[in-house]
Amino acid sequence: MASAQAWSELSAAASKMKATHLRTLLQDQARNDYMYVKCGGMTLDYCREKVDVDTMGKLFSLAEKAGVDTKKQKMFAGERINETEGRPVLHVALRAPRSAVINVDGKNVVPEVWQVLDAMKEFSDKVRSGERVGYTGKPLKDVVCIGIGGSYLGVEFVFEALKTDPAAAAAAEGRRLRFLANVDPIDVKRALDGLSAETTLVVIISKTFTTAETMLNAKTVKEWLIKELGTEACIPKHVVACSTALDKTKAFGIDPANVFGFWDWVGGRFSCWSAVGVLALSLQYGFGVVQQFLEGAHVMDEHFRTAPPTENLPLIMGLLAVWNCSVLGYEGIAVLPYCQALVRFVPHIQQLDMESNGKRVQMDGTVVPVGTGAIYFGEPGTNGQHSFYQLMHQGRAIPAEFIGFAHSQNPVELPGEPVSNHDELMSNFFAQPDALALGKTADELKAEGVPEKLVPHKTFTGDRPSLSLLLPVCNASWLGQLLALYEHRTAVQGWVWGINSFDQWGVELGKVLAKEVRSYLSTARKGPANDSKFISPTKMLLKKYLE
């Protein structure tokens, strides 16, 4: 982590910025121009953040003193930067071109990545063409993916985002893809509703094939297949896996040829580029569409690796997140995509950032001296405007990240309407950041003739920070760039704080305690059980639950 002096300099800058309204900052055109940054067809405008050029200089200096560039180069070089687990962090290898060389312990891992990619292309092509069929000879038109957390959220985001992309939608015609994540049996019912076992292919996603929720759901769906098709012999035809536990997948009844592996240097929340996401998305949209997604991510990887600091989008966004969270003291960030196709983007970013950066200690085990991580939430515009924007405008100040596209996946223009449907949407995309930044003063309201008693209620203080990202269109390539941007933005924050953004020990304790509850419930359902391990409030709730 950077020195105390670097943080002290930022604290001094924060005092100045807190005392300077965004109305004033936005009057400096040279500053505004400096904060308008392009990366190919993607544009970042961060002039509505509570920073000036001098503050950005201090943030770039902070990144330098924290060794962000060195840590980035180590990541791309395959070094074991996930120190607590002794692993490299190489999701960038998953979207590297076939000719790339990325070594781990002296061995180039890219050929192995492409070996799995080629196998998934071959398998998905055969399923989609009807060459590979189910147990009764019918084509496999429906896919159910069973996985949770990182084995689900990113894949579902991409699936939803491509649903209405014209090219992807045409490729997916006649096919269905569903997800089964929650161990709640209601999720099983919803995932299987309306499906025929004869045409259903099940993809089980679990690296170790031991994830409790995933394996219980997998066993439940396996029983459904056997019941519907009349024999356990159907399993090799209807179930495949993304896993490294070949002994366990074989015991489950899965053909070893239909197990697609990935590596321990692939973190769950960074894994949609691996078999975890590529297999399901290729079955739905075809490998060609998925390859565009991977290639888009690689474009952003190269931008992040090589662009200078003042033009480096992931670096800038990561530093602004640190500034807002650790220096200005904001505890939340609203991610606001003005595109309904990104309906599942924010849940994935919640996991990506909050699981990565929700840490209290640095890599060396010492407590981080500043606040880390933020609470991420959001909803596609304009839906969010009729939900939580009230709080953002006149309640708590929450930094916002607006995401928009110049062109719609589904252009609509009605005769007699002043603008197209997409322009109506984007009118709000452009208006909301200004409303948050500039607000509306009491004097302005009085000049408009607003009754005196309503002036306090209609006053907007403004001075609420945001940034805007504008992309050309929501297709596979640009989605790859967008997600890779947010992945690298997440890593930058962790490197500045000196934490490990690539482990997740915080998810373990609840799992351990759940095992104890599970054991107790198993016994209690059959007769008397010992509840002495639980605190008294938990005993009371368990007793009520078992009535």
Distance CA 502, CA 83 (A): 9
Closest CA to 405 of 473, 482, 340, 344: 473
Of 18, 511, 515, 533, catalytic: 511
167 in Cβ contact with 289 (< 8 Å): yes
386 catalytically annotated:
yes
355 catalytically annotated:
yes
Q: Distances from the Cα of 198 to the Cαs of 225, 242, 302, 505, in angstroms?
A: 8, 22, 44, 41
342 in Cβ contact with 165 (< 8 Å): no
Q: What one-character-per-residue DSSP string does 175-198 give?
A: -EEEEE--SSHHHHHHHHTT--GG
3-class DSSP assignment, residue 152: coil
**Long-range Cβ contacts of 60-63 (<8 Å, 24+ apart):** 60/309, 60/310, 60/315, 60/319, 61/6, 61/9, 62/2, 62/6, 62/7, 62/10, 62/319, 62/322, 62/496, 63/309, 63/315, 63/319, 63/492, 63/495, 63/496
What phi and psi, each to the nearest 5 degrees, are found at residue 396?
A: -70, 145
Q: What one-character-per-residue DSSP string does 89-129 give?
A: --GGGGGS-TT---EETTEE-HHHHHHHHHHHHHHHHHHHH
Surface-to-core class of residue 59, CB atoms within 10 Å of its CB (0-12 exposed, 13-18 middle, 19+ buried): buried
160 catalytically annotated:
no
Which residues, including other chains, have CB under 8 Å from residue 41's CB and lie 6 or more apart?
471, 472, 478
Residue 327 DSSP symbol: I
Of 38, 126, 386, 407, catalytic: 386
Of 355, 379, 401, 487, catalytic: 355
380 in Cβ contact with 342 (< 8 Å): yes
* Residue numbers annotated as active site: 355, 386, 511
